[in-house]
Amino acid sequence: MWRDVGGVVAGVASWWLVAAAGYWLLSASWPDYAIAEPSADFTAVMLLARVLVGIVCSVAAGAACGVIAGPESIAAGIVVAVLLVLLVPIQYSVWDDFPTWYNLVFLGMLVPIIWRSAKVASRYTSGL
């Protein structure tokens, strides 16, 4: 049970830490992105970069969860549920600021990427 709890905490925390670092990196290294960020006036390339950050966040969350919780755990499902509970209201509040494809891809990728990353990481580390 404690491994499951640790996996959930690690997964959720990893998602937010990687998101903060990823979006900061985009802003710090891409002057046009930094200018567009306050008004969310992103170009298609900027939106794709944000999707990429979301993918990296989800892989990190799933991997952290899977390594700690193990291959037979339901922790990855709980991580997905927690992140959806936290992110759906945020995404809903900015829905009109972004194209529909971005909103759907951002939310739609959470479940499969976190779930699969957790499974891969847990199987890899359980064999060590």
pLDDT at 49: 97
pLDDT at 105: 94
Contact 79, 66 (CB under 8 A): no
Q: What's the chain's average pLDDT?
A: 92
Annotated domain spans of the chain? 2-126
- Does residue 106 have a pLDDT over 60? yes
The mean per-residue pLDDT over the stretch 21-25 comes to 97
pLDDT at 60: 97
pTM of the model: 0.90
- Does residue 55 have a pLDDT over 90? yes
Estimate to the nearest angstrom the gap between the alpha carbon of 72 and the chain centroid. Answer: 22
Secondary structure, 3-state, the chain: CHHHHHHHHHHHHHHHHHHHHHHHHHHHHCHHHHHHCCCCCCCHHHHHHHHHHHHHHHHHHHHHHHHHHCCCCCHHHHHHHHHHHHHHHHHHHCHHHCCHHHHHHHHHHHHHHHHHHHHHHHHHHHCC
pLDDT at 13: 97
- Does residue 126 have a pLDDT over 70? no
